[in-house]
Structures are given as C-alpha cells and as structure tokens.
Amino acid sequence: MKHRCAVILFALVTLILLSVASTGFADEPEVVEVEGGEAKVTLVEGNADLFRKKAKLRQPLSEGDVLRHGDRVITGDKTRIELALADGSILRFDEKTTFELISADYDEQTKERNVDVRLALGKTWAKVAGLVGGRGRFQVSAENAIAGVRGTTYRMNVNPDTSVVVKVYWGEIHVSSPPEKVDGPLRVSEPRRVEGPHPVEGPRPVTMQEWTYIVRAMHQIVILPDGTVSKPFRFDPRVDADDWVRWNQMRDQKR
C-alpha cells in the first residue's frame, strides 16, 4: 500500500513539474535569446523587406526572424521594427529606413562585442547595453559619420541628401569622420579612445580624416553632405519629443 501511494505521489509531482515547464510563470519577464553574430527581430509594426546576403529575392520581414552579416532591410511607410542583440542592446528603425547589418558578434565569456550597422537612409534609435569590463565596439555608420559607443542611448538620422544628425539622450558617444570613402559598403575602423572633443574651427568643410567629437547627453551634432560638421550643441528635449522619440522612450521604459 505504501509503495502504491509513493508511486502515485511521484506521478503527481512529475505532472506538476511538466505543467510548469510547458506553461511558465505569468509574472516572469520574457527572455529573448540571441546567439552571437545574430540580431533577432522582436517587433514589426507595418511592412518591411528583408534582402538576404546570398539571396537575390526579397522576403517580408517578420517578428522572430534572425538577421545575420550582410542582411539588408528596407522599412515601408508607417513601419517600425525592433532588433535585440546578443549583448543585450536594442536597435529600432523608423519608416522609410534602409540599413545593413555588418556585424553583430558577441562573446559571452570575454564580454567582447563587435556590432556594426550601416545606416544608408532613415532613422535608428540605439539603446546600448553597458558591459562591465567589456571590450570591442558598437557603432552605427553612415556615409559621412561613424557613431561609436560603449553604453548609452542615442539616435541617428540619415537624410536623403546624406546629411547626418546624431542626438544623445544618455551617456556619451564619439562621432568621427569615416576613415575613407569607398564604393560599396562603408569600411570602418575600430573606435579609438579620445580624452575629449577635438573640434575644428568652424563649421567648415573638412577632410574625411580631420575630426572627432565627444557628444554628451542632451547634445547633438550635425554633419552636412559636403563634410561640414558642427560643434556639438544642446537640444531642447521638449522640442525634440516627436512621435518617434516618445515611442522609443516608451519602449525603453518597458525593458
């Protein structure tokens, strides 16, 4: 009799454990698992096209898709998407935006990351995870500028005339001219450590090797199509708070 009761009790405990494993706890936060070298699409509002590096045909971008090196995405009208990276960072892209994922590598053991996104046109918002003891780079590049960071929140706009606007909301970033202009995808170098802003007298047209700025919280920098760069200057958050900014700030608060 005791043996039978023990068997029944064991069976009940097993069923309970299996039930918990299959359903999970409702109050636990969702965990997005992303492998190194990949970016997972965690939100698609609207329509976007995905162009795989080795495929000639485009395909609709869907929530749950995984982006890898060389994948290119074009978002349509009234479309917004969100990507989760392996290092815990988040990237979002607004409507009418074209970007390419150059690299999304992350080593869990060494905390070293190599994240590089080429923004050809449109708007992106980056919430970059701060890594204690982490190394490597996290940068968003355009034709006329590279924004490299370690842990901060900022956004970059690339306008149809190739002018660039970068605004920092938390932390600080360094923005520099690209090392060289080339045909095809932009080649970028490792971010270099700088102690402070190194402005040119101006703004004035400068060569592609001349300038690097530190842009701190609630400041912005503007790079014109001809290479003219402004000194970083403060922006008014009340004027800045359009629908795109408010939407991103709301998403950030949920994470």
For residue 137, what is the domain's CATH number?
2.60.120.1440
pLDDT, tens digit (0-9, with 9 covering 90-100), for 111-122:
889 999 999 999
Angle at 149 between CA 152 and CA 171, to 5 degrees: 30
Give CA torsion, residues 44, 146, 104, 217, to 10 deg: -70
The per-residue pLDDT of the chain, averaged, comes to 80
Is the whole model's pTM more than 0.85, yes or no? Answer: no
pLDDT at site 24? 40
Low-confidence ranges of the chain (pLDDT < 50): 2, 5-32, 181-208
pLDDT at site 35? 60
Domain of 80, in residue numbers: 2-253
Number of compact structural domains in the chain: 1
pLDDT at site 2? 46
How far apart, in whole angstroms, are the C-alpha atoms of residue 83 and residue 67? 9
How far apart, in whole angstroms, are the C-alpha atoms of residue 250 and residue 255? 9
How far apart, in whole angstroms, are the C-alpha atoms of residue 200 and residue 109? 40
